[in-house]
Structures are given as C-alpha cells and as structure tokens.
Amino acid sequence: MPKGNSSRRGLINVALNGLVSTGVIAGFRTNYVTKEEPDQLQITVTSPSVARQEQIRAKVLQALGEVGEGAKIVVELSGRQAAGR
C-alpha cells in the first residue's frame, strides 16, 4: 500500500470510481460500516450490461491491485437487467 495518509477504503473508492467513470461497472458498494476495516472485506459491483461476471471481476481486481488482496468481489446485474430476465 502506498505510504502517506491514504486509507485502504479511500484507495478502493478511487479505483472503483475510475471504473464507474469509464463504464466498466455501473456502481459499487462495500461492507465498511465504520472507519474500521471489516473482518472480511466484500466489494459488490454492479454490471452495466449482461457482460460475463468473470471479465468484470478480473477488471475490478486489476484496478484495485494490492488494496484488493483478500477481498471478496461480487458482481451483480443492475436492477433493470435483473427485472428483464
């Protein structure tokens, strides 16, 4: 992790907001409830299309780099796509 005041949570937000801005994912949420690190970090990303989950998961892990190590990555369809299935 880079030195300085950057928190893991902040680095995750920066990386995933970049994926939102480029359309790789439609959104994301984590299981952080306080400033403390959760026992098992889970990051849920919303797919903007019916793309293959493994491709999206791989792009998310690549963007996260070291800060994503040990995190469980869940890919879900957006509400619009789930309703249309």
Burial label for 51, CB within 10 Å (0-12, 13-18, 19+), is middle
pLDDT score, position 5? 59
CA distance 62 to 15: 9
Compute, in degrees rounded to 10, the torsion defined by CA atoms 58, 60, 66, 68: -110
Is 1 part of any domain? no
Kindly state whether residue 42 falls inside one of the protein's structural domains.
yes
Residue 14 belongs to a domain:
yes
Q: What pLDDT was estimated at residue 85?
A: 45
Mind listing the pLDDT tens digit for each residue in 11-48? 999 999 999 999 999 999 999 988 888 889 999 999 98
How many domains does the structure of the chain reveal?
Answer: 1
- Residue 32 neighbours by CB under 8 Å, 6+ apart: 9, 38, 41
Name the β-bridge partners of 75: 45
Average pLDDT, the chain: 87
Predicted TM-score (pTM) of the model is: 0.81
